[in-house]
Chains A and B, each alone.
Chain A
Amino acid sequence: EPEVTQTPSHQVTQMGQEVILRCVPISNHLYFYWYRQILGQKVEFLVSFYNNEISEKSEIFDDQFSVERPDGSNFTLKIRSTKLEDSAMYFCASKVVMNTEAFFGQGTRLTVV
């Protein structure tokens, strides 16, 4: 069964460093998303990506964040200068058309120290 895969599963980084979280969405999907879940809180939307551009972003997704789909298979989330409050589980998701279920990856746990 096709699945969304994310690497790494756990990333520890120093405050102020750049991190890149990687995702390989399901191959025939057209809509791509990043969500995050801070420990003990709800899953929050960060950004959606469609037709090779950002289609929507939340107020969390400020200038420190960027996304790319560089080669038609990978989908990356970059945080330029990490802050302690960026520590969370980051989930990549994809879906084939808009109002269908999104399939989630297993997540990357980002710890900023």
Chain B
Amino acid sequence: DQQVKQNSPSLSVQEGRISILNCDYTNSMFDYFLWYKKYPAEGPTFLISISSIKDKNEDGRFTVFLNKSAKHLSLHIVPSQPGDSAVYFCAASSAGGTSYGKLTFGQGTILTVHP
């Protein structure tokens, strides 16, 4: 089941530069997309989300872009800080049918921000 894919297992960025994490999905029923950050031995922490009626959502240093026609979303972190180093998961859900809001996760991208 590869409905949500993060094709880059890792990304290394210099402090102060932009980090861009990518995510692709195949299920056109998805209408709500989220990014989570996860440290080892902790639960995922919500970062930012976007509804399918929008193409951009910003929250401080984090911006999520959604391209519905390409079934692609990305997370931009500007400027990147060493504390941003973690695993980033893209997730998607659908309000329709019998879904009840379950999240389908990508495989995750390990972001390392170097001082």
Other A-B pairs beyond A99-B101, A104-B45, A106-B43, 4, CB < 8 Å: A35-B103, A42-B105, A56-B98, A104-B46
A101-B44 in contact given A33-B102, A50-B100 (Cβ < 8 Å): no
13 examples of A-B residue contacts, CB within 8 angstroms: A41-B107, A42-B107, A42-B108, A48-B100, A50-B100, A56-B100, A56-B102, A91-B43, A98-B95, A102-B34, A102-B103, A104-B36, A106-B42
Q: Is A45 an interface residue (CB 8 A)?
A: yes
Q: Is the interface of A mostly helix, strand, loop or mixed?
A: strand
Q: Is B85 an interface residue (CB 8 A)?
A: no
Q: Is A105 an interface residue (CB 8 A)?
A: yes
Which of A4, A101, A103, A107 has the most chain B CB within a 10 Å cutoff? Answer: A101
Q: Is A55 an interface residue (CB 8 A)?
A: yes
Residues of A within 8 A of B105 (CB): 42-44
Q: Is the interface of B mostly helix, strand, loop or mixed?
A: loop
Residues of A within 8 A of B93 (CB): 98-99
A99-B95 in contact given A43-B89, A109-B41 (Cβ < 8 Å): yes
Q: Is B69 an interface residue (CB 8 A)?
A: no
Q: Is A31 an interface residue (CB 8 A)?
A: yes
Q: How far is the CA of A95 from the CA of B102 in the complex (A)?
A: 10
Q: Are A45 and B42 in contact (CB under 8 A)?
A: no
List chain B positions with a Cβ less than 8 A from chain A. 31-32, 34, 36, 41-46, 49, 51, 89, 91, 93, 95, 98-108
Find A98's partner among B45, B91, B101, B104 (CB 8 Å cutoff): B101
Find B99's partner among A44, A56, A91, A102 (CB 8 Å cutoff): A56
Q: How far is the CA of A67 from the CA of B34 in the complex (A)?
A: 26
Residues 1-32 of chain A, each 1 if its beta carbon lies under 8 Å from chain B, else 0 = 00010100000000000000000000000010
Residues of B within 8 A of A103 (CB): 46
Residues of B within 8 A of A98 (CB): 93, 95, 100-101
A101-B46 in contact given A42-B105, A43-B89 (Cβ < 8 Å): yes
Closest 3 CB pairs of A and B: A104-B43, A98-B101, A55-B100
Residues 55-85 of chain A, each 1 if its beta carbon lies under 8 Å from chain B, else 0 = 1100000000000000000000000000000
